[in-house]
Chain A
Amino acid sequence: MYPASFRYLRPRSLAEALEFLTRHGEEAKLLAGGHSLLPAMKLRLASPRYLIDIGGLRELRGIDTSPGEMVIGALTLHAEIAASDSVRRLLPGLAEAASVIGDLQVRNRGTIGGSVAHADPGADFPVILTALSAAFVLQSSSGKRRVAADGFFRDFFTTALAPDEILTEIRIPLPPRGAGTAYAKLGHPASGYAVVSAGAWLIVDSAGNCESARVAVGGLDGIPRRAAATEAALQGRPLTAENIAAAAARAADGAKAEGDTYASAEYKLHVATVFARRAIEAAAGRAGRQDRA
């Protein structure tokens, strides 16, 4: 529980942080909330030579609602997202995910950008953000680029981030009238990470049929997976309990899962369908009742 020695750098601006990152590249790690990195360092699973503490960069923190899009700074805390009125009103599924991360201490220190960039297979934000069609703004000394959540997560703890890039913003399209979002998770009793989880985003038309659906499932094979068969089964159908159950039953179609000391692969594949159903049911319940963006 004593990390190896490292140099601690505290940039005063994003520009300076990017400069440090360019200079030290793969020898450096960014420190935000520290809730994943510091334990790894204490266990000596990670031994970066340089620690660039971006925690003080106010410019990366905050929630903005611009026309058509919600913009969340990468250093915004889980607790801030869970408590944000605009998030709760416009994207209740995101607030729900933020409110079930880890425990109170984690939520008071952990950041959304840290969670996304770390890409733990049991993390909550990647799953709901995939369902919400979020995009991530990645910045380096040479410029900015925008990567969709669908292509961002590559593998366990692996993302599209280059060593000289910082994730600065999470941008989420605001759902139109009649949309509903929700998140449901089975947490691991020790870590609080998701054993499996599911995020849902639904648009219901005036006749009560599902106009469009995006469902993402996490915890199965390292990265959030869109449940394509489920989405297709919901499309154009009334959101009855039977239809939802039938669609959710296909949430793990084609997915592979890895068993571990806590849960078997079979269990994970099964409960993925249960939590997909619970997320879809909750989202369907919210669809139509939600305020306009």
Chain B
Amino acid sequence: MTTEHGNGKLIGAPVRRVEDAALITGAGCFVEDIRRAGMLHMALLRSPHAHARIVSIDARAAGAMPGVVAVVTGEDVAELRIPVAAVVQGQKIPPHPVLARGAVHAAGVPVAAVVAETRAQAEDAAAAIEVEYDEMPAVVDAEKALEPGAPLAREELSDNVCYVATKKGGDVDKAFAEADHVVRMRIASPRQVALAIEPRGIVADPEPAGRGLTVWASTQAPHRLRADLATALGFPEHKIHLIAPDVGGGFGSKGPLYREYVLACHMALKLGRPVKWIATRSEDFVTMIQGRDQIMRSELALKRDGTMLGLKVRVVANVGAYLYSNTAGPPQRMMAMAPGCYRIQNCHVEVVAVFTNTVPTGPYRGAGRPESVLNIERLVDKAARDLGIDRLELRRKNFIRPEQFPYRTGVGVEYDSGDYDKALAEALRLSRYDDLVRRRDEARRRGELVGVGVSTFVEPSGGAGFESGTVRVERTGEITVLTGSSSHGQGHETSFAQVIADLLRVSMDHVAIRHGDTVAVQQGVGTFGSRSMVMGGGSMAIAAQRVIEKGRRIAAHLAEASPDDIVQADGGFAVAGVPDRRITWRQIAAAAYGGKLPPGMEPGLQETAFFNPRREAWGFGTHVAMVRIDRETGTPSIEKLVLVDDCGVVVNPMIVEGQIHGGVAQGLGEAFREQMLYGENGEILTGTLMHYAVMRAPDMPVLVLGETVTPNPFNPLGVKGVGEAGTNGAPPAVANAVMDALAPLGIDHIDMPYTPPKLWAAIRDAERRAH
């Protein structure tokens, strides 16, 4: 497949990932694999308390231990802090020092750093530092943090509110006044941990005399990280060479600049030697941004016939103890898609972001999308039940109709395109929905707890400003692509190469995708929010078109023909009507780099495009789940899971399926087992993989995938994102199925995760009520 010319056939082909041979044979190069001469290692002493004053720190013994080069505490690095910009007017941004100064506000916060010749020496010395704490009252629950008299998570502030933000449209009061029925629910999304297979890590290598700093970091956004690092360090951005080598996943958590990254760079510059820090899994559990933890109180107003009139949502979002650059993101995202795929023009959505003594939150696969979909899809199911209307009919009745796109929603966001009923119909067909319902009814008659659930949802993608792409034809005619979309497992080197090989009519072998290097790549944003193919692919497609146009003019010049008579052909161009008269990219490159060019034409064959469509790409889909619950033990199991997703034009169906599989695995984790728990004083209760349960390969049910294709009219490739579809659509489908299974017991709503003990308790309580 990869050696054939991409003559329009590579986009859409299930090409095997070119990255995998190296990765699965252990030949990848991750930050941990970076070794530099004279490299030192950093370890951190972390607070066991969630909220405490630091009375004293005694690091004398640690400083004298073997191999120790430096020990620093908060006062030694008082000038270093995490840069955070306000995303909402009036947002409070309390200090975020890289080492605690005076007080700690969450368990796991670093209090001291040790740099030593080996990691073991650094760890031993860190363990020898003595810290005296004076514990303060802690608050972990965001709703409780808003109660009068609640402990202050940040004692510098007068209350625990970080910000309040509102989005509204239409006339909500009128809509609710005219409603025949109002559905009210309180829905909480469990806090989740992003468990990338590779923990965070950094190596910082300074050049002498402040000439520069080379940094290898496990990150999703190299250029952003470099800018934040420069700001935090007070070191010139253009003298930092930041490299993201192979990165083993991120799911949002490797977006921000972390304290340890700043510290490692600072210590390297201060000591004049390379410094490495690799997070342990335990450290990732307590210091990497966590996801979800939004509590939604919602009201949906409807007419008796099921017409949706208005929506009110009040979200209490737990932001944790400190802000990172992207902490405020998920609640904003939640608001922007609150009406889902429904025509609800009267909306009032409010977010109250709240500080607590917990690990900071931030984007985690979905980043506000799963919360929002869960909210609206639970509301719709409950409305159907209350009104006695079929839940599919209720959805169809209120879907934004295909002819209404581009559609401006009640919260002022424009969706590009969609055909929601088509995806729903396909999911019903694939799942044999009527058959599932019949089987459920039969099981119910036998007293078994079986339910069928559906979620219809949107998956916004792209966004976050621009992305850039450079396409360069080298002297040999081979193609180098430089993209700001740096991959951390998404298969960019494959799918981007398919795009460029198709557009330039060359084989994939002739295309190299380069990313994750701030010196090699012009500028860029990074990979998150399902944006890579939309933004990275979009920008390089525009650059490729410019290269083609220049190539066409050079080809015309070489062939002594008019550019209008030059057409693309395998390996380059041909003269129209004379297919044998070929002009290859190699010939064109030879001309571009020193040969015969049209008069006035600049040499070179390289184009860069910065792409910002100023609108997001709204993918969508329908997921259907059938769940059985063992009445005796409360153990749930998936009987059927069908996932129909529409992400516009599909470049590589195998990679898209992989994205859906992975997203669903994390979505099922959210639905059934994952939840980060804190004790009353903010102590970490689920800080290891022995306590925090994720889905593993043998736990996964069979997934039935399907698709519809609704091209994105505002994208050069017609693509939409898909990376978060699995976490957006699957958990609400499962939630609706679980609640459908429990409906005969009169159970209205239970929050995820649906663990056996939780379901059993709900079943037992319901049975007791019935007796």
Q: Chain A: residues with CB nearer than 8 A to chain B?
A: 1-2, 4-5, 39, 43-44, 103, 186, 188-191, 261-264, 266-267, 270-271, 274
B-side contacts of A189, CB under 8 Å: 672-673, 693, 699, 755
Q: Decide if B760 is an interface residue (CB 8 Å cutoff).
A: yes
Q: Decide if B692 is an interface residue (CB 8 Å cutoff).
A: yes
Interface core residue of A103, A263, A266 (most chain B CB under 10 Å):
A263
* Cβ proximity bits B736-771 to A, threshold 8 Å, 1 near / 0 not: 000000000000000000011100110000000000
Q: Chain B: residues with CB nearer than 8 A to chain A?
A: 43, 119-120, 123-124, 127, 280-282, 632-635, 672-673, 677, 685-686, 688-694, 696, 699, 755-757, 760-761
With A5-B124, A262-B755: A191-B691 Cβ-Cβ less than 8 Å: yes
With A1-B282, A2-B119, A271-B633: A186-B691 Cβ-Cβ less than 8 Å: no
Q: Is the CB of A4 within 8 A of B693?
A: no
B-side contacts of A274, CB under 8 Å: 632-633
Q: Is the CB of B761 within 8 A of A190?
A: no
Q: Is the CB of B693 within 8 A of A188?
A: yes
Q: Is the CB of A186 within 8 A of B633?
A: yes
Q: Is the CB of A261 within 8 A of B686?
A: yes
B-side contacts of A4, CB under 8 Å: 124, 127
With A190-B692, A261-B685, A261-B686: A2-B632 Cβ-Cβ less than 8 Å: no
Question: Which residue of B633, B672, B691, B761 is within 8 Å of A264 (Cβ)?
Answer: B761
Q: Is the CB of B120 within 8 A of A267?
A: no
In the assembled complex, 9 residue pairs joining A and B whose CB atoms fall closer than 8 Å, in A order, are A2-B43, A43-B688, A189-B672, A189-B693, A190-B673, A263-B757, A267-B757, A270-B760, A271-B633
Assembled-state Cα–Cα distance A263/B699 (Å): 20
B-side contacts of A39, CB under 8 Å: 690
* Chain A to chain B: the 8 pairs with minimum beta-carbon distance, closest first: A189-B693, A190-B693, A1-B280, A263-B757, A2-B123, A191-B690, A267-B757, A189-B673
Nearest CB in chain A: distance from B668 CB, A: 11
Assembled-state Cα–Cα distance A261/B675 (Å): 10
Given contacts A39-B690, A189-B755, 18 further A-B contacts (CB under 8 A): A1-B282, A2-B43, A2-B119, A2-B123, A43-B688, A44-B127, A103-B696, A186-B633, A186-B756, A190-B673, A190-B691, A191-B691, A261-B685, A262-B691, A262-B757, A263-B757, A271-B760, A274-B633
Who on chain B is nearest to A188 by CB?
B693
B-side contacts of A103, CB under 8 Å: 696
Compute the total of residue contacts between A and B using a CB distance below 8 Å: 60
Who on chain A is nearest to B283 by CB?
A1
Assembled-state Cα–Cα distance A188/B699 (Å): 13
Q: Is the CB of B757 within 8 A of A264?
A: yes
Nearest CB in chain B: distance from A6 CB, A: 11
Assembled-state Cα–Cα distance A44/B126 (Å): 13
A-side contacts of B757, CB under 8 Å: 262-264, 267
B-side contacts of A264, CB under 8 Å: 757, 761
Q: Is the CB of B282 within 8 A of A267?
A: no
B-side contacts of A270, CB under 8 Å: 760
Assembled-state Cα–Cα distance A190/B426 (Å): 35
A-side contacts of B635, CB under 8 Å: 186
Q: Is the CB of A1 within 8 A of B281?
A: yes
Q: Is the CB of A261 within 8 A of B691?
A: yes
B-side contacts of A188, CB under 8 Å: 693
Assembled-state Cα–Cα distance A205/B123 (Å): 63
Who on chain A is nearest to B123 by CB?
A2
Assembled-state Cα–Cα distance A229/B601 (Å): 95
B-side contacts of A186, CB under 8 Å: 633, 635, 756
Assembled-state Cα–Cα distance A5/B122 (Å): 12
Nearest CB in chain A: distance from B629 CB, A: 14
With A4-B127, A43-B282, A274-B632: A267-B691 Cβ-Cβ less than 8 Å: no
A-side contacts of B281, CB under 8 Å: 1
Assembled-state Cα–Cα distance A192/B445 (Å): 34
Assembled-state Cα–Cα distance A274/B760 (Å): 12
Who on chain B is nearest to A43 by CB?
B282
A-side contacts of B685, CB under 8 Å: 261
Q: Is the CB of A190 within 8 A of B677?
A: no
A-side contacts of B694, CB under 8 Å: 190
Assembled-state Cα–Cα distance A190/B693 (Å): 4
Nearest CB in chain A: distance from B277 CB, A: 12
A-side contacts of B280, CB under 8 Å: 1-2
A-side contacts of B124, CB under 8 Å: 4-5
A-side contacts of B755, CB under 8 Å: 189, 262
Nearest CB in chain A: distance from B665 CB, A: 13
Who on chain A is nearest to B753 by CB?
A189
B-side contacts of A1, CB under 8 Å: 280-282
